[in-house]
Amino acid sequence: MIALLRIIAASVWSILMITSSILLMLVTFNRRLPVAMARNQWAPGILWICGVKLKVTGLENLDTSQPYVFVANHQSYLDIPFLFNAIPINLYFIAKKEIKWIPFIGWYMMATGMIFIDRSNRIKSIASLNKSAKLVHDGKSVLLFPEGTRSRDGYLADFKKGPFKLAEKAQVPVVPVGIMEDGHSFELNKMKSTKVVVNVGSPSEKNGLEHPVWINQVHDEVAKLSGRTKYLSLKKN
């Protein structure tokens, strides 16, 4: 029952925030306003509804005047509000172009200038990467989950190359971010609060490294920041 009430409350809050932010954008002609509202109002509201207390470390590693490609472990449906609330920079996402037409979510993403890519063929994929890199280079920080899906076994899966190719082409650093639960696991159906820690690492640049080496370095840093170093020892054995 508690879980159902939380899901309903979170859904209503999200619809209200999406609708109001789009309306405000149409009045002010400011496409950054809805993204700022997501960070300052929507995300804190979702965390309050779900009983999450957030702690953030490592913000001193960031220069908020420059864009980054943020890469984080993906463990729950709340990772996006965790990171929106934790990182003091407007974050954008890269999504398949088909998402544009999903009610509310797609409309919001189009209105706020989120980045859409076309993966229908290689030529269009390359063109989408080039366009995305220009947007990032020009000031949009993006958030990506390079595991590609949520972790099912608690370990950090291998990272895909896409975020690193994007960062290299956009000439911006990759920032490793670790999300970890402090204490008991999050349970939507119980009233007890959950403490979640978001650890922001130091920006990483390719600096002549081969892609696999660079990716592995960032992967291992995210593993440490998220408390998933057990996976590293398993990989080496």
What does the pLDDT look like over 9-64, one tens digit per residue?
A: 999 999 999 889 889 888 988 888 888 899 999 999 999 999 999 999 999 999 99
In sequence order, the 6+-apart residues with CB closer than 8 A to the CB of 73 are 145, 147, 151, 156, 177, 178, 179, 222, 223, 226, 228
| CB of 169 closer than 8 Å to CB of 129 | yes
Domain containing residue 109: CATH number:
3.40.1130.10
Query: In terms of residue numbers, what domain contains 182?
Result: 52-236
Question: What's the total number of domains in the chain?
Answer: 1
Entry pTM? 0.87
Name beta bridge partners: 142.
69, 92
Is residue 15 assigned to a domain?
A: no
**Structure confidence at residue 230 (pLDDT):** 54
What does the pLDDT look like over 58-97, one tens digit per residue?
A: 999 999 999 999 999 988 888 999 999 999 999 988 877 7
What does the pLDDT look like over 177-232, one tens digit per residue?
A: 999 986 555 666 666 778 899 999 999 999 989 999 999 999 999 999 998 875 45
In sequence order, the 6+-apart residues with CB closer than 8 A to the CB of 59 are 87, 88, 200
Is residue 139 assigned to a domain?
A: yes
Is residue 41 assigned to a domain?
A: no
Is residue 220 assigned to a domain?
A: yes
Is residue 5 assigned to a domain?
A: no
Is residue 20 assigned to a domain?
A: no
Q: How far is CA 69 from CA 16, 145, 207, in A?
A: 29, 10, 16
Best CA proximity match to 164, nearest among 197, 142, 196: 142
Is residue 79 assigned to a domain?
A: yes
Q: What is the largest CA-CA distance in the chain?
A: 59
